[in-house]
Amino acid sequence: MQTSVHKEAPVAYIVSKELVQVSSLLPSNRLRSMMVHSLVNLMGLLSPGYSNNAKVQVISPSRASSEALAVYHSRDYLDFVLDPDNSHPSSATQAVNGARLEDLGLEDDCPPFQGLHHYVPLVGGASLTAARTLTAGLAEIAICWDGGRHHAQKSRASGFCYVADCILLLLALKRSSLPPLMSSSPETTRKSRTMYLDLDLHFSDAVSQAFYTQNAFGTSQILTLSIHHSSPGFFPISSLSGLPQPSSPAFDPFTLAIPLHRGASDTTYARIWPIVENLFSIFDPDFIVVQCGVDALSGDPCKTFNWSLGDGVGSLSWYIGKIKSLPGKKLFLGGGGYNSPNAARAWTYLTSVLVDNPLPLDSQIPDHTMFPSYAPSFTLDVPAGNMQDENTEAYLTSVENCFQEAVVALEQRLNVR
């Protein structure tokens, strides 16, 4: 008789056939969702016996209601994107709605697409379902690879993102009541705290801006930290994407960013990890939300960073392993990633890390309809390339110095009663 002794708390994996079908229509990432969940399935990660240490629960997402989406989005935006008649970019629709489409950001890289009126409530609902599994005590870790749309704004689509699922779930976690045992603080009645860590190549502009509290006093329940590339003209342009400037009146120690130069490698990511860990230990969050966009990996068409999937020191999976070992409940989201086979490789491997039974990186991709896309390696690994890392010793030292000051400001604000 086979017995499974699950030593760790359950891992919730958010997926449904409908979610995969609709996510696979996203114009910037056609069929990516299908590739990701197919590979996760083919590798057996959702099978009951896959891990002796973590029980995986597959949870079907609920659709977010219009009211649930309106907790952040404007009515005007929702009225348009939830209307089935606006869900296809026919020339007649374009002509009638031209000015409105522009106002709502539904042009250029965010065109209306067939299924948009299903996509917005399903992806928003998937991330909210993930958050609910944590707040309801059903899981310690939740995974929602179809979420992580960190550029979507209150009244506008932006940067391939049509629904602000990250912001919606952070607001849900903020509102959640906190069981006393979840807080390591002696003040068991304190409000929940959530650290949002964004690993996507691009700055988490919409999320950071939503929780930015210029000139505020006291403690914020949400701390955002984005690690990304920033350079003149690189999307998105935001005054919040630079290094912390604690002497500036605009500085908010709960809205933090680590911009990196081109070619950022495992070595650079390993170097900045202590900053992340230090912020974590000072902020002492109850929840950690990680946006795991994979466009910083080597091989992405963005060709900007040279991060490897892992498992070496400083790699993406090394980061995820480190985050997994921190106290608190964790929610892992997807995001960018425009080499779809590599996104499938990455999120499959990270799933295996999170369920505590990492696959070998040289695992062969099983034969299936999408197998040819995995050429030429046909294995799971996403190794680093040859790009030069332009993050110099002098620059990384300046990053560390900025954060030493930022941490002092953060501690001061956390100590305000």
Please identify the residue of the shown chain whose CB is closest to the bound Zn ion: 336
Q: How far apart are CA 304 and CA 234, in angstroms?
A: 10
Among the listed ranges 127-135, 314-322, 334-342, 397-405, the one in contact with Zn ion (CB under 5 A) is 334-342
Q: Choose the stretch contacting Zn ion; rule: CB under 5 A; options: 2-10, 265-273, 292-300, 403-411.
A: 292-300
Which tokens sit at 203? 């700055």
Both tokens of 380, joined, read 């799971």
Q: What angle do CA 64, 66, 70 make, to 5 degrees?
A: 100
How many residues sit in the footprint of Zn ion (CB under 5 A)? 6
Burial class (CB in 10 A: 0-12, 13-18, 19+), 34: middle
Tell which one of 146, 165, 200, 266 touches Zn ion (CB under 5 A).
200
Residues 37, 151, 202, 228: which is the catalytic one?
151
* 224 DSSP β-pair partners: 196, 255
Stretch that binds Zn ion, among 63-71, 115-123, 177-185, 295-303 (CB under 5 A): 295-303
Q: Which is nearer to Zn ion, 125 or 293 (CB)?
A: 293
What are the CA-CA distances from residue 99 to residues 77, 94, 102, 103, 111 (Å)? Answer: 13, 9, 5, 6, 13
Closest to Zn ion by CB, 244 or 293: 293
C-beta of 300 vs 356, nearer to Zn ion: 300
Secondary structure (3-state) at 289 = strand
CA diameter of the chain: 66
Residue 151: active-site member: yes
**Residue 201, interface with Zn ion (CB under 5 A)?**
yes
In whole angstroms, the minimum distance from the beta carbon of 74 to Zn ion comes to: 24
Are β-strands 255-260 and 287-291 bridged in parallel, bridged antiparallel, or unpaired?
A: unpaired
Smallest separation, CB 145 to Zn ion (Å): 14
**Residue 144 or residue 201: which is nearer to Zn ion going by CB?**
201
Burial 298-322 (b: 16+ CB within 10 A, else e): bbbebebbbbbbbbeebbbbbbbbe
| Contact between 10 and Zn ion per CB under 5 A | no
- Of 64 and 201, which has the nearer Cβ to Zn ion? 201
Q: Is 165 in the site for Zn ion (CB under 5 A)?
A: no
Query: Which residue, 200 or 266, has its beta carbon nearer to Zn ion?
Result: 200
- Report the nearest approach of Zn ion to the CB of residue 162 (Å): 15
Distance CA 112, CA 117 (A): 9
Is 336 near Zn ion (CB under 5 A)?
yes
Shortest Cβ 331–Zn ion spacing (Å): 18
Q: Give the residue, chosen from 10, 105, 121, 293, that forms a contact with Zn ion under the rule CB under 5 A.
A: 293
Q: Is there a contact between 47 and 355 (Cβ–Cβ < 8 Å)?
A: no
Q: How far is the CB of 293 from Zn ion (least distance, A)?
A: 5
Question: Can you spell out the DSSP letters for 213-226?
Answer: -TT--S--SEEEEE
Give 198 or 252: the residue with its C-beta nearer to Zn ion: 198
Q: Cis link prior to 236 (omega < 30° from 0)? A: yes
Give 62's contacts (C-beta < 8 A, 6+ positions apart). Answer: 125, 128, 129
Helix orientation angle between 316-324 and 340-354, rounded to the nearest 10 degrees = 30
Query: Stretches 189-197, 218-226, 293-301, 386-394: which one binds Zn ion (CB under 5 A)?
Result: 293-301
How many C-beta atoms lie closer than 10 Å to residue 376's C-beta?
Answer: 5
Q: What angle do CA 98, 104, 109 make, to 5 degrees?
A: 85
Of 202, 271, 324, 345, the residue at the interface with Zn ion (CB under 5 A) is 202
- Minimum gap (Å) between residue 330 Cβ and Zn ion: 21
- The residue among 200 and 205 lying less far from Zn ion, judged by its C-beta, is 200
How far apart, in whole angstroms, are the C-alpha atoms of residue 343 and residue 365? 13
Q: Which stretch binds Zn ion (CB under 5 A): 241-249, 290-298, 367-375, 409-417?
A: 290-298
Which member of 165, 205, 286, 295 binds Zn ion (CB under 5 A)? 295
Q: Which stretch binds Zn ion (CB under 5 A): 109-117, 137-145, 242-250, 286-294?
A: 286-294
Q: Closest distance between Zn ion and the C-beta of residue 87, in Å? A: 25
Closest contact distance (angstroms) between CB of 303 and Zn ion is 13
Bond before 10 cis per omega within 30 degrees = no
Residues forming contacts to Zn ion in the complex (CB under 5 A) are 200-202, 293, 295, 336
Residues marked active site are found at 151
